[in-house]
Amino acid sequence: MDVAVAAGVSQATVARCFNTPEVVAASTRKRIEAAAEQLGYVPNAIARSLKSQSTNIVGAVVPAVGEYWQNVVTCFSRCLTASGRQLLLFSFLDQADVDDTLEAVAQYRLDGLILASATIAEAQLARMRQTGLSLVAFNHPDAAGIVPSVTVDNEAGSAELARHLADLGCARVLYVGGVAAASTDRARFRGAARTLASAGATCNYMEAGAFTYEAGYRAADRIGQLDRLPDAVMVGGDEVAFGMLDGLRQHGITAPDDLLMTGFDGLPQASWAGYDLTTLVQPAEQLAEHAAELAAKGLDAPSNVVPPSVVVAGTLRRGRTTRRDDEPPAPPQSRRGRGCEPQSRASR
Amino acid sequence: MDVAVAAGVSQATVARCFNTPEVVAASTRKRIEAAAEQLGYVPNAIARSLKSQSTNIVGAVVPAVGEYWQNVVTCFSRCLTASGRQLLLFSFLDQADVDDTLEAVAQYRLDGLILASATIAEAQLARMRQTGLSLVAFNHPDAAGIVPSVTVDNEAGSAELARHLADLGCARVLYVGGVAAASTDRARFRGAARTLASAGATCNYMEAGAFTYEAGYRAADRIGQLDRLPDAVMVGGDEVAFGMLDGLRQHGITAPDDLLMTGFDGLPQASWAGYDLTTLVQPAEQLAEHAAELAAKGLDAPSNVVPPSVVVAGTLRRGRTTRRDDEPPAPPQSRRGRGCEPQSRASR
DNA sequence: CGATTCTATGTATACGTATTCATCCTTGCA
DNA sequence: TGCAAGGATGAATACGTATACATAGAATCG
């Protein structure tokens, strides 16, 4: 290394100077630092990774679409950066691309991989776990037990929303799910149905077809054609709920006047004055933190032990869409500090 | 390498088998592939990078906040993945973190780096260019000439919006910018002011303070207190415009009834029925493609030549917020295929 | 049939770092 | 002064790959 010769020391000493500065003499250190500064030297993480067998990079496979995921990705990035790691992002549009993606991922020896797709087959999860790569399923409840997983408590959260509606006197509730095959969707419906049943209310299911605004908008047409509106509509995701609110308005149906409505996720827009949606806020930062930690820790245990799974409770946000009286709406709250604890910030 | 011994060949032949399969005998190749399959071998990209001095990874430094950037990041990821590259994401919340981030970036020998922050000091850009890292400024017009840059045509786009308003008979226009110091903001205001002036209309400037919903919401208060409303409000970003629409509504002011409104960016939500905003749609996929290409190509030229800069035109989207008559609103359009050409998809 | 070209493969090396082991010099103590 | 102990540094090696070079066998051609 040219820094070494410039400072008149060996390459080993230069390496020590950057990793364990306390073992190198102050005078030498100063000389090395001067030479490094002057030559614009910066350690090569690639070479380090090759030697140390650890890249300090965590991958994340995330659907390319939807506000929810975009929000989560930002949280991942923040968490990882804060602990000195990097985020390698794989954003897929088509489920079929995931396989190619995962193959490409394997080439980079990532420290961990976060799988943020609720629809990855469980068989594939089991297979991937064999590779030794430490992976974490994010918001994929059914993956718990197969791979380490981190999810919000979908069932309890949905139950809380349902309880809220029951308290407001709703007797006929319609649950509009995104994709019935998604395990999150099933868990949320389960929580709602169970709670409403025990409160003596009914809870039918309708599938929007996707977790998107458009799907919600279209589903609103079907609701607009019903003979009798339900007392409330529980929507399986905020973005779908936004579409539904806008779609219903085309039919002259508004919340909370004609029916109540709840969402799920707690997107920033839910607190925008234009929607002001009652929803279950996912603690995205917390979830991301857990996922990042689990991914980085690696899974030393053999594959016969049950992997750890983390379930975090969300919090209810009461918005105008379930407000019967005419309180003035709250001013929009900043979306920065929401649950984003300062945290130690192990820089460098 | 154990695959080599398992197949009874040398490591070099294994490497050839994966890089230039045509030069290795069919029989040998088959034996190697079988051994690799059986041992679960997958080439190590880290080692490859060390040897080839090229990581196939492109970094992106992006603000953590705002729908706009989240959309752009997704485009980056798609473009890079399509050309077999990976995206290393750095999402910063505080401008001050960028320096730390860039330092961390330097350790990984990225093939390129996309700087997507309109407020990075130009001096720092010049300094970074010295490091030999091939960087690209994204939507930072002032960076053109210092480093390669890719931007939408802010000035022309804003001029197009202004022309649209002038055609509708607006004589008094208020331009609400996000951050006056941002070069995009200045360019957009310039385009608006120039066009309106030549049409005999006035164009005052107001700063919202940030490119966020909340900033727009608060700025609406100031507008609500004006003695006389402007004919139209041109907002420097869609998200700010959403906040302004919602904020004005609190004051009983709606678009297009009391004033017209335009945004800028063309976020997915602009076409949501709840807002249906007239805006200038940025061709995000195109921009991302150009940025990815420029970043990967590297800058072989010495630092005295003027780096290439790409400027792409946006397209006007006419929404309800500038619609004087009462046409029925168009149904929401899917947000998938918007400008996302199929493209060759050089997999693997 | 010998000389030559071509094809398939092995050998050796370099990429830039972390780390072990050995070495040398300094310091403390008897 | 002699010796042990410790502190600072150098030499050597390994991480897994790509590739230039060498080599051996096969094939072509006169």
Tens-place pLDDT, residues A303-317: 556 678 899 999 999
Q: Are residues A76 and A117 in the same domain?
A: yes
Classify residue A333: in a domain, yes or no: no
Kindly report the length of chain B: 348
| Element at B82 (helix H, strand E) | helix B67-82
Contact: A86, B88; criterion CB under 8 Å: yes
Whole-number pLDDT of residue B325: 62
Total of domains in chain A: 3
DSSP for A215-229, please give it.
Answer: HHHHHHHHHHT-SS-
Whole-number pLDDT of residue A298: 61
Q: What is the mean pLDDT of residues A330-348?
A: 40
At A45, the pLDDT band (50, 70, 90 cuts) reads: very high
Angle between helices B154-167 and B183-198 (to 10 degrees): 30
Beta bridge partners of B202: B172
DSSP for B187-204, please give it.
Answer: HHHHHHHHHHHHTT-EEE
Tens-place pLDDT, residues A58-114: 999 888 878 888 889 989 998 898 888 999 998 888 777 787 788 888 899 999 999
C-alpha–C-alpha distance, residues B277 and B260, integer Å: 10
Whole-number pLDDT of residue B105: 85
Q: Are residues B212 and B202 in the same domain?
A: yes
Q: Are residues A121 and A204 in the same domain?
A: no
At A299, the pLDDT band (50, 70, 90 cuts) reads: low
Cβ contact A12 with chain D strand, < 7 A: yes
Q: What is the mean pLDDT of residues A17-39?
A: 92
Q: Are residues A181 and A211 in the same domain?
A: yes
Q: Are residues A99 and A209 in the same domain?
A: no
Closest residue in chain B to residue A328, using alpha carbons only:
B250
Please give the torsion angle defined by the CA atoms of residues A156, A162, A168 and A174, in that order, rounded to the nearest 10 degrees.
170
Q: What is the mean pLDDT of residues A213-234?
A: 97
DSSP for B241-303, please give it.
Answer: HHHHHHHHHHTT--TTTT-EEE-SB--GGGGSTTT--BEEE--HHHHHHHHHHHHHH---S-T
Contact: A108, B46; criterion CB under 8 Å: yes
Q: Which residues of B touch A91 (CB under 8 A)?
A: 73-74, 77-78, 81, 87
Who's near A239: CB < 8 A, 6+ residues apart? A66, A67, A68, A211, A212, A213, A216, A265, A267
Q: Which range of residues forms the domain containing residue A110?
A: 57-153+284-312
Who's near A113: CB < 8 A, 6+ residues apart? A58, A59, A60, A61, A105, A133, A134, A135, A136, A295
Classify residue B8: in a domain, yes or no: no
Cβ contact B35 with chain D strand, < 7 A: no
C-alpha–C-alpha distance, residues B172 and B261, integer Å: 12
Cβ contact B43 with chain C strand, < 7 A: no
Q: Are residues A160 and A146 in the same domain?
A: no
Classify residue A344: in a domain, yes or no: no
Classify residue B337: in a domain, yes or no: no
Q: Where are the beta strands (DSSP E) in chain A?
A: 57-63, 86-92, 112-115, 135-138, 149-152, 172-177, 202-207, 232-235, 260-262, 279-281, 309-312, 315-317
Q: What single-letter DSSP state applies at residue A265?
A: B
- Please, what is the Cα angle at B65 between B134 and A134, to 5 degrees? 75
Classify residue B105: in a domain, yes or no: yes
A26, with CB counted inside 10 A (0-12, 13-18, 19+), is exposed
Please count the other Cβ atoms lying within 10 Å of the Cβ belonging to residue A250.
Answer: 15
Q: Are residues B109 and B161 in the same domain?
A: no
Q: Are residues A89 and A171 in the same domain?
A: no
Tens-place pLDDT, residues A129-181: 777 788 899 998 887 778 899 999 999 999 999 999 999 999 999 999 999 99
Q: Are residues B296 and B237 in the same domain?
A: no
Distance of CA A344 to the CA centre of its chain: 21
Classify residue B276: in a domain, yes or no: yes
- Please, what is the Cα angle at A307 between A301 and A312, to 5 degrees? 140
Q: How far is the CA of B13 from the C1' of C10 (A)?
A: 8
Whole-number pLDDT of residue A337: 38
Is the predicted pLDDT of residue A203 greater than 90, yes or no?
Answer: yes
Cβ–Cβ contact A68 with B under 8 A = no
CATH at B173 = 3.40.50.2300
Range in A124-128, A244-248, B44-48 the model is least confident about: A124-128
Q: Are residues A84 and A138 in the same domain?
A: yes
Nearest to A108 by CA among B48, B46, B105: B46
Cβ contact A23 with chain D strand, < 7 A: yes
Cβ–Cβ contact A177 with B under 8 A = no
> In angstroms, what separates the C-alpha of A227 from chain B's closest C-alpha?
24
Whole-number pLDDT of residue B122: 73
Q: Are residues B137 and B217 in the same domain?
A: no
Cβ proximity of A116 and A62 under 8 Å: yes
Classify residue B37: in a domain, yes or no: no
Q: What does the pLDDT profile of chain B (348 residues) look like in tens digits?
A: 688 999 999 999 999 999 999 999 999 999 999 999 999 899 999 999 999 999 999 999 888 878 888 889 989 998 998 888 999 998 888 777 787 788 888 899 999 999 987 667 777 777 777 777 888 999 988 887 788 999 999 999 999 999 999 999 999 999 999 999 989 999 999 999 999 999 999 999 999 999 999 999 999 999 999 999 999 999 999 999 999 999 999 999 998 999 999 999 999 999 999 999 999 999 999 999 999 999 887 655 555 566 788 999 999 999 999 986 655 545 454 443 333 333 333 332
**Out of A55, A268, A273, closest to residue B217 by CB:** A273
Cβ–Cβ contact A273 with B under 8 A = yes
Task: Tell me the nt nearest to A19, Cα to C1'.
Answer: C18
Classify residue B138: in a domain, yes or no: yes
CA distances from A266 to A3, A284, A291, A323 (A): 52, 9, 19, 17
Q: Which residues of B touch A272 (CB under 8 A)?
A: 213, 242-243, 246
Q: Are residues B275 and B288 in the same domain?
A: no
Protein-covered nucleotides on strand C (Cβ within 7 A): 7-12, 14-20
